[in-house]
Amino acid sequence: MIIDIHTHVFNAAHHFGPKLNADLERCSVNPDVWGNVEERHLETTKAADVAVVFGLQASATGWNIPNNMVAGHVAKAPERLLFFASIDPLCDNFMEELQSCHQQLGAVGVKLSPLYQNVHPQDKRCYEIYHYCQQHGLPILFHTGTSFVSGTPLDYSRPVHFDAVAIDFPELRMVLAHLGHPWEGETIAVIRRHAHVYADISALYYRPWQFYNSMRLLVEYKAQHKVLFGSDFPFTTTGDSITQVRALNNVTGRSGLPEVPADVIEEIIHRDALHLLNLPNPLKK
């Protein structure tokens, strides 16, 4: 079974604010290249058996993707899609939003993005969210690592900050997205220390040399069992991600450098993230 733990849906024309659009233009990113994200999501995620889907609420950087829109999208394919709610700790009603998404809209997890939301992972508002999620068995997927957004401290995305969170919330299932690039070493140090902290490899194959070294480091630390598959749709697709992850050793050429074992790669692609994160299996409904 293949679980894509990291996919987005949105309508850029309606859900992106002026600041976000300015950041995209500065980095020469044209949202038009993603096409109709919702339609493409329903089609391209068929390369996985199950996909986790979320939007992003981040008033500090111009993201406003409604949770009810994401929940409605998931309802189009409930046999293979799972809804994670995005909660913005800067909003006055963030706890009401969390409770509503969980209890009324059927969210089975939460997406938080400290860098995008301009909130330190150890902020007391975040701790309210962690407490609720631990109490109700909701895993949290965190954006960790760098991004093109501007105006917020990159430090908020350092994987090392989640070490203290894991100590304070030992039963909270956590996923550190993108292996925390470019701080992959920090991420590996954190995930191997805590039973319920994992990472995903979404959006890493674009930098093949960095990706190869990160995966070798995982193997050397014997932490590969703590890593989950994710694509980061629409910035790539599930199928393309699977293909490129399997091709990661190509970067070594005839150099004689050690390969990442093929069984390690396949185990990550086929890892049962639903079991590890205590998520429901929509295939069994």
pLDDT at 285 over 80: no
Reading the block at residue 171, the tokens are 């039963």
Mention every residue, 6+ apart, whose C-beta is less than 8 A from residue 222.
192
Q: What is the pLDDT of residue 26?
A: 95
Are residues 267 and 223 in contact, defined by beta-carbon separation less than 8 angstroms?
no
Q: CA 142 from chain center: how many Å? A: 6
Using DSSP's 3-state secondary structure scheme, residue 116 falls into helix
pLDDT at 206 over 90: yes
Q: CA 54 from chain center: how many Å? A: 9
Mean pLDDT, range 96-117, rounded to an integer: 98
**CATH value at residue 33:** 3.20.20.140
pLDDT at 260 over 80: yes
Mean pLDDT, range 13-34, rounded to an integer: 94
Mean pLDDT, range 108-113, rounded to an integer: 98
Q: What is the pLDDT of residue 283?
A: 86
Q: What is the pLDDT of residue 144?
A: 98
Mean pLDDT, range 195-208, rounded to an integer: 97
Mean pLDDT, range 95-114, rounded to an integer: 98
If one counts the domains in the chain, the total is 1
pTM value is: 0.97
Please give the residue range of the domain that contains residue 51.
3-284
Tokens 């992003």 appear where? 56
Using DSSP's 3-state secondary structure scheme, residue 84 falls into strand
How far apart are alpha carbons 165 and 284 in whole angstroms? 33
pLDDT at 178 over 80: yes
pLDDT (tens digit, 9 = 90+) per residue, 233-251? 999 999 999 999 999 999 9
How far apart are alpha carbons 170 and 195 in whole angstroms? 8
Are residues 92 and 125 in contact, defined by beta-carbon separation less than 8 angstroms?
no
Mean pLDDT (the chain, rounded): 97
Residue whose C-alpha is closest to residue 171's, from 199, 138, 141, 200: 138
The pLDDT-based confidence of 160 (bands split at 50, 70, 90) is: very high
Neighbour tally for 72: CB within 10 Å:
14
pLDDT at 218 over 90: yes
